[in-house]
Each structure stands twice: as C-alpha cells, then as structure tokens.
C-alpha cells in the first residue's frame, strides 16, 4: 500500500473514531457525509474521497455549545490530501450576548454572483469545479443582539494562507505557484492581530449589513520568484488592507433586490468594487437572477469581474435542483457558462454534476484569472 493511501485511510479512520466517541460521550447531535468526486480539466483529471462530519453538544441549560466539523480529503496522487476543521468552536450565550472562541466559519453577503463582503475565512480552491472550501478561521468573537440591530466584533490572531495544490496551482498561470515562500506586507506575517466588525439589522422588507475588516487580505497577489532549483515561480503576496463593505437586500413580493459594495486600500491604491442586481421568483420552484459586477480599477483590475453582467436561473425539481448562469464581460465579450445539477439518490445520497466553459480570447483576461479553464466535475455523496 502506498504512503498516500496509508495516509488517506488513517485520516478517515481517525476522523470516524473521533466522531463516534464524541457522539457517544457527549450525547451530541451529529451528521456525516462521504463524497467520491472526480473532475476533468481538458486532458487532465483528478479524483478524491472526502469526509465532512459535524457534531454539536449543548449543555448548561442551553447556554454553552461545542461545535466540531472536521474535513478530511484524500486523493490517490497525495497532492491534495488535507485534514482540517471547518469549525472547532465553543460558544457561550447569556441574555442578549454571545461569546465564541475557536475555529469558525462566518458568512456575510447577499449577492448571487460574487461575495465581496464575505472576507473572514480563507478559501481552499482544491475542490471540484469553480467552488471552494472555507477554512475555519481562529477567532474570539463577541456579539450582541439588540432592538437596533446585531453587532459582532471579531479578533483574529492567526492568518491562514491559501493553498495551491495539484491543478489548483496551475489554474492561475502557466508559471507554477510556490506557496512555500509567501511574502507578507506585515512584519508580523501570519501572526498579525486582525479584527473585523459588522452591524446588521432588518427594517420591514429591508436587510442591512455594514462591515469593516482591518487585517491581512485573504486573497493573495503574486510576485515573480524562484524556487530552490532556480525555476521561475509565482510567490503569493499577502497585503494588509482596511476594507469597508455594505450589503443590502430588499424583499418585495416575488422580487429580491441585492447589493454588495466594498472599498479597500491595498498597496496599489484604493478602489471600489460592487455586485448588485435582482432575483425574481415566478413560482416556488423557478427563479431568475441578473447582476452587474463593477471594479473601479477597470482594465488594471486583477480580477476578471471588472465590468461584467451575470444572468442565471434556478429550477427546483422534485428530487433535485438545476442551476445555470453566465458571466459576460461587457468590454471583451468573453463569457463563462456554468451549469450545476444536484439530484437525490434515494433518502441518503445525492449526485452532483457541474460543468463550466470559457468562450472568448484568453489573452484579454487578467493575469492569474482561473475562469478561462473548461471543467466537468462529478460527485456522489452518501449521508449518515
């Protein structure tokens, strides 16, 4: 048995035993799912086996909660093996206050196409299709729920770097990414104390959010470098930014109007980015959406979403969901088509198929833009 296989088997065994003991000893509510997945990128392909489990234990008359969500990924090549936690956190509740500590997953935002204000967790791109896994962020968070809104303040003492394993590292450029020698703007590197705060409130049909992050930027830039053998590589560069964001959603009948906008000040200069639009439900099972994505840097933007339209539709079926969407660059006419189908297989399994295709001139895309790669992914998940 190869080393990669032994590591994968051992990882799944440890996670399964930990989940079993926790569920019995703590009398926790728990769930688990195992997924076998494969994906094609042109002539190349990857396969993986994933365990995602979760258990929760509540005590002290509901005032304290322990949440544990391990994540284990194994693939035959050994390049994308991972044992991690999406959540490993303790929470304490009293009156209108909440205190949470540990590794947590936080979601902010309302838009369908791009989550500009969702900046707390690092993203691991080593997953199927164009998706990502949010990694648990170490934090101490204090929140209060009042009549005038909810305020959450987060301290983050440790920064998590992005990984570029296997083909995920090749998706960005023909020059490989070397994540072993990251460059930080902060002298404290990954131990800089970052902080964030968010206020959210609902007034009638309106949902508001106002947030601010001061810390190391989760999305890296890239600098030219060399590896130990002298080969040319790209080195991740982690800037320090102050980012202020707003998210708004208005619900009116069958309509949803959404907006996310941020302003931030990286080393290259302050800019504004926004994503907003609408969603309309024709019935309980069919809806369409359209959004516009803007970046004030224009042609100098490091993202593909500087002046794009996004349109799509979602169809809820009796045993699944079908969703499709398209990004269209208004300046270059480059387009990205995506289609995703999720289908239930009995009462304890699902099939997920996702495909994406790029149409246009790749040379007109910003450097390191991953969206010009066609792909097809297939995943079967068994729930326990």
pLDDT recorded at residue 178:
86
pLDDT at 24 over 60: no
339 is written with which tokens? 């289609």
- Phi, psi at 269, each rounded to 5°: 120, 150
Any alpha helices (H) in the chain, and if so which ranges?
Answer: 3-25, 166-170
pLDDT at 68 over 90: yes
- Distances from the Cα of 72 to the Cαs of 28, 35, 123, 351, in angstroms? 20, 10, 15, 20
- Domains in the chain and their CATH numbers? 3-383 (2.40.160.100)
281 Cβ partners below 8 Å, 6+ apart?
A: 254, 256, 287
98 is written with which tokens? 């909440």
Sign of CA dihedral 316, 256, 353, 163: negative
pLDDT at 175 over 60: yes
Of the chain, the percentage scoring pLDDT greater than 90 comes to 70
Mean pLDDT across the chain, nearest whole number? 88
Answer left, alpha or beta for residue 4, where phi above 0 means left and psi between -120 and 50 means alpha.
Answer: alpha
Q: What is the pLDDT of residues 88-145, one digit of tens each?
A: 999 999 999 999 999 999 999 999 999 999 999 998 876 654 567 889 999 999 999 9
**Burial (0-12, 13-18, 19+ Cβ within 10 Å), 375:** buried
43 is written with which tokens? 């002539």
Other CB atoms closer than 10 Å to residue 87's CB: what's the count?
A: 19
- Give which of 78, 84, 171 is closest to 367, Cα–Cα: 171
pLDDT recorded at residue 109:
95
pLDDT recorded at residue 170:
52
> What are the strands, taking DSSP E only, across 60-174?
64-74, 82-94, 97-104, 123-124, 133-134, 137-146, 149-156
307 is written with which tokens? 């002046």
Instruction: Give 304 or 367, the one with higher predicted confidence.
Output: 304
Give residue 8's pLDDT band: very low, low, confident or very high (50, 70, 90): very low
Of the chain, the percentage scoring pLDDT greater than 70 comes to 87
What is the residue whose two structure tokens read 């088997």?
A: 9
- Give which of 308, 269, 267, 315 is closest to 288, Cα–Cα: 315
pLDDT at 215 over 50: yes
> Across-strand partners of 72?
51, 83
């Amino acid at each position: 048995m190869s080393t990669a296989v032994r590591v994968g088997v051992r990882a799944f065994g440890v996670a399964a035993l930990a989940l079993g003991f926790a569920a019995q000893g703590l009398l926790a509510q728990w769930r688990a799912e195992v997924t076998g997945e494969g994906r094609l990128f042109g002539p190349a392909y990857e396969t993986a086996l994933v365990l995602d489990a979760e258990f929760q234990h509540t005590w002290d008359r509901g005032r304290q909660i322990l949440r544990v969500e391990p994540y284990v990924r194994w693939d035959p090549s050994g390049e994308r093996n991972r044992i991690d936690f999406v959540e490993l956190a303790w929470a304490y509740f009293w009156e209108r206050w909440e205190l949470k500590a540990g590794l947590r997953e936080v979601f902010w935002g309302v838009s369908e196409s791009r989550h500009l204000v969702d900046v707390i967790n690092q993203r691991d791109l080593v997953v199927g299709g164009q998706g990502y896994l949010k990694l648990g962020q170490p934090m101490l968070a204090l929140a209060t729920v009042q009549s005038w809104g909810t305020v959450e303040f987060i301290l983050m003492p440790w920064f998590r770097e992005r990984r570029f394993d296997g083909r995920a590292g090749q998706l960005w450029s023909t020059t490989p990414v070397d994540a072993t020698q990251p460059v930080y703007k902060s002298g404290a590197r990954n131990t800089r104390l970052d902080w964030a705060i968010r206020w959210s409130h609902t007034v009638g049909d309106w949902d508001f959010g106002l947030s601010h992050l001061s810390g190391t930027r989760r999305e890296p830039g890239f600098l030219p470098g060399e590896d130990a053998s002298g080969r040319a590589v790209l080195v991740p560069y982690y800037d320090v930014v102050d980012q202020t964001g707003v998210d708004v959603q208005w619900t009116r009948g069958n309509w949803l109007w959404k907006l996310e906008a941020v302003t931030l000040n990286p080393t290259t200069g302050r800019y504004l980015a926004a994503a907003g639009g609408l969603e309309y439900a024709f019935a309980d099972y069919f809806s369409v959406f359209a959004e516009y994505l803007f970046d004030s840097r224009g042609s100098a933007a490091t993202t593909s979403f500087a002046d794009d339209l996004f349109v799509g539709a979602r169809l809820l079926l009796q045993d699944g969901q079908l969703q499709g969407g398209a990004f269209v660059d208004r300046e270059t006419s480059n387009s990205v088509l995506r289609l995703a189908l999720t289908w239930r297989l009995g009462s304890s399994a699902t099939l997920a198929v996702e495909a994406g295709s790029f149409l246009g001139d790749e040379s007109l895309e910003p450097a390191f833009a991953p969206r010009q790669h066609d792909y097809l992914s297939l995943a079967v998940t068994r729930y326990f």
